[in-house]
Amino acid sequence: MGPISNSSSLTAAEAGLVSCHSCRLLCRAGDQVKSGHPYCPRCHAPLHPRKPASLSRTWALVLAAMLLYIPANVLPITQTTSLGHTQSDTILSGVVYFMISGSWHIALIIFVASILVPLVKLVVLIYLLLSVQFKWLWRPRERTRLYRLTEAVGRWSMVDIYVVTVLVALVRMDALASVTAGPAGLYFAAVVVLTMLAADSFDPRLIWDTAKERK
């Protein structure tokens, strides 16, 4: 390996190295291809310089999540039967219920986790995909930070699924009161899972690769 200063301007790819996605060991790209076993010698993960087919995989997952976001919000997520009277609630009407009944902090949690986070996550991922696709140079550092934030925050959308699970478990009094999960639950769960997979398949190093190419 050549002399590299503490913070070089050289990337692993430019130095002919592959950083293992799993354990981050630096491996010589040439050695691995020659031996016919592109696996990390420490953790046995398959080695590749960038996540494979990152852009097309992320696009596919994002588009699927966008489509499912519609039934997730339009269809009822819970059906509550209380003394013969049945009420269907969508995610949004659940938020409104909490606001009216005075639990505005709960309304805020559900609104942020179930409506805002998935939506913002999709918008951010589309923006990042477009920025790489069209080789935009604008603020790579901020775009990287945006990506890390999106990746970290996405799992919290699962909170509504757990609320439905606990309600369904507890309120099973048959004629007196019962809660059943509505069809939106599965669509919403799919949105959360797909956006998590989409964030995972996006490779932030592509942001920096294009910045370098243009120079």
Partner 1 sequence: MVKATAATAYIACPACDLLHLRRPVPAGTTARCTRCATPLYRNRGRSLEWPLCLVLAASILFAISNLFPFLTLKIEGRTEETVLMTGIMALYHQGQLGLAALVLLTGLVCPLLQLVGYVYVLLSLHTGAGSSFAAEAYRWVRHVQPWSMIEILLLGILVSVVKLAGMAEVMPGVALYAFMILIFILPAAMVAIDAVSLWDRFPIAAA
Residues from 56 through 85 that contact partner 1 (CB under 8 A): 82
Q: Give me the phi and psi of 11, to 5 degrees please.
A: -95, 165
**Of 25-54, which residues contact partner 1 (CB under 8 A)?**
25-27, 31, 35, 41-45
Q: What distance, in Å, lies between the first and last C-alpha atoms of the chain?
A: 25
Identify which of residues 66 and 160 has a Cβ nearer to partner 1 in the complex: 160
Tell me whether residue 31 or residue 123 sits nearer to partner 1 (CB atom): 31
What is d(CA 123, CA 114) in angstroms, rounded to the nearest whole number? 15
Min dist CB 105 to partner 1, Å, is 9
Q: Is 125 exposed, middle or buried (0-12, 13-18, 19+ CB in 10 A)?
A: buried
Site for partner 1 in 164-183 (CB under 8 A): 164-173, 176-177, 180-181
- Out of 67, 100, 148, 149, point to the residue binding partner 1 (CB under 8 A): 148
Site for partner 1 in 110-129 (CB under 8 A): 110
Phi, psi of 86 (to 5 degrees): -105, 135
